Chain A
Amino acid sequence: AQSVTQLGSHVSVSEGALVLLRCNYSSSVPPYLFWYVQYPNQGLQLLLKYTSAATLVKGINGFEAEFKKSETSFHLTKPSAHMSDAAEYFCAVSDPGNQFYFGTGTSLTVIP
């Protein structure tokens, strides 16, 4: 079975600082991995996805994530935080032919 662990339910960074949101997964087969963002009172929006191509994946809004099989991690980063990045971030895993499993989310606060 697949599962996702997001370390840190709340992360605060200063505007302009590095954003690092952690995600570790468990999967018995090569997984597909996703990061979604949810702004208040809105649905989930895909930031980026890993589907067994390049291990460094670039997404929207300057975010990127690196798939590290040896560490079973898929951490999300952004070099410089912007106020508009404040939101809830969810990591998700699926294996081909199966459904999605989401982490419990990380709430990102950006301090001006």
Chain B
Amino acid sequence: QVQLQESGPGLVKPSETLSLTCTVSGGSMSNYYWNWIRQPPGKGLEWIGYIYYSGSINYNPSLRSRVTMSVDTSKNQLSLKLSSVTAADTAVYHCARGLASCGGDCYGPWGQGTLVTVSS
């Protein structure tokens, strides 16, 4: 079965760029939408955006000016960059595969998530 695993620095300084990687195992990235979703500690879920395996993207307008997503199907990885971070970007960041039955816009499976703290 497909498994997703996020990785990256757990601490980022304010104004710097957050960079995360999601490694997909047990299946191909082809023909799927790949999403990033975040959850501030003790709070709800926020969709950051998706990237299709071929590279087309859709970002949340609230983050669009600071987000870059990319995909490397040869490595079975997707990546997220979020620039000019502030404390408000402190969250657990999840990658998740879009379910084909939802047109890619509902999510399963998810990675366990990685906590990124923005602090000096």
User: Are A and B part of the same complex?
Assistant: no
B contacts, CB < 8 Å to A: none
A contacts, CB < 8 Å to B: none
